[in-house]
Amino acid sequence: MPYVIGIDGGGTKTKAVLLDETGKVYAVSKAGPSNPTAVPSEQLKTTLQCILVGLQLQAPNEYKQVKAGFAGMSGAGDAVSRSHLKKIFFDLTEGRFPIWVDIDAINALYAGTLGKPGILQIAGTGAITYGLNKEGECERVGGWGYLFDDQGSGYHISVKALSAVMQAYDGRGKATLLTKLLIERFSITEVPELISAIYRSDNSKTVIASLSPVVLLAAEQKDEVANHILSEAAEDLALSIMTLHKKLFGNAVHQKVILTGGFIQHSPLVVSSLKALFLSKGYAFDFQFPRIDPAGGSAIAALHYLNEMPKIEFVSNFHASINTVEEGGVS
């Protein structure tokens, strides 16, 4: 029975699991940020040490038998960061077992495909598309940042909503329910007060991105402007997904696409538009949300490196056992 470690490292937190190929989780540990481009080297070492020691303390017998680990880390897109992280892991494990390092898109994808190739579409504040084919080739499309490339993200649709409200206000555009909803949201009385509410906030980007639920609400209430904004978001995401698909998978008609991020996971309208768009083009794409935690996706990547595949009961075992461990374990 191969025991493996899966690590998901991000800009705000790091999480690790120790499990076997049936999905049974023996230990879970959590720590602060571990993005190597944002965290000083000493702090990074301490964080990763905490993570591994946490697993060892909770499940010492299983830890001894660990064969491999995988760490999906945000900020590990370049070779320098990856080799820096690998060196830290080598020292922490004293070389007893390998911990492979790659970008956190891999484990996010595997959290949905359970180790199979496919496409990952992230659409939260920002939007970016990743893919991995069976030859192990990776590609990326989009995600060049909020200033000029954020199509299909929560930020982008919120900007469009604000723009539509200002255009309706001064007569350039159609009236929209978004006006009433945004006035309520900011507890203001007149539309122009939106300007100071947003420009004078400490973090305009965050304030704007937080408005995407308002657009979803207006669309659910059949607001034409909001529905148009969401349709465009679905088209933007479809373009990114199709571009990436062609790069990695050629003309294949079937494809698994994992959708993750706060915006897309709360937008049934956008998801159904996406499905319809691909169907209308003759593609049988299978859109899914992640089935397990991304740290679990990393554990599957570790199994993958050992030429093992997760067993059929993996997902149900994972959910049952991680809850037990998290409730009782060190965190």
Q: Which is nearer to a copy of itself, 143 or 290 (CB)?
A: 143
By CB under 8 A, what part of segment 3-32 binds a copy of itself?
none
> Which member of 127, 162, 229, 303 binds a copy of itself (CB under 8 A)?
162
- 198 belongs to the binding site for a copy of itself (CB under 8 A): yes
Residue 116's identity, in one-letter code, is: K
Contacts of 19 (CB under 8 A, 6+ apart): 3, 4, 6, 25, 26, 296, 299, 318, 321
> Which member of 159, 226, 259, 271 binds a copy of itself (CB under 8 A)?
159
286 touches 254 (CB < 8 A): yes
Which residue shows structure tokens 């690790």? 16
Q: CA-to-CA distance for 130 and 140, rounded, in angstroms?
A: 5
Q: CA-to-CA distance for 116 and 103, rounded, in angstroms?
A: 16
By CB under 8 A, what part of segment 200-219 binds a copy of itself?
204, 208
Residue 125 sits at φ, ψ, to 5 deg, of -60, -45
DSSP 261-285: SHHHHT-HHHHHHHHHHHHHTT-EE
Q: CA-to-CA distance for 319 and 331, rounded, in angstroms?
A: 17
Residue 329's identity, in one-letter code, is: G
Q: Which is nearer to a copy of itself, 116 or 247 (CB)?
A: 247
By CB under 8 A, what part of segment 134-153 binds a copy of itself?
140-142, 144-145, 147-149, 151
Structure tokens at 268: 């049934």
- Quick note: the x/- pattern for a copy of itself over 246-265, rule CB under 8 A, is xx------------------
Q: Which is nearer to a copy of itself, 151 or 267 (CB)?
A: 151
- 133 belongs to the binding site for a copy of itself (CB under 8 A): no
**Candidates 11-19, 27-35, 169-177, 279-287; binding stretch for a copy of itself (CB under 8 A):** 169-177
> Which member of 13, 172, 180, 281 binds a copy of itself (CB under 8 A)?
172
Site for a copy of itself, rule CB under 8 A: 140-142, 144-145, 147-149, 151, 159-160, 162-163, 166-167, 170-172, 192, 195, 198-199, 204, 208, 239-240, 243, 246-247
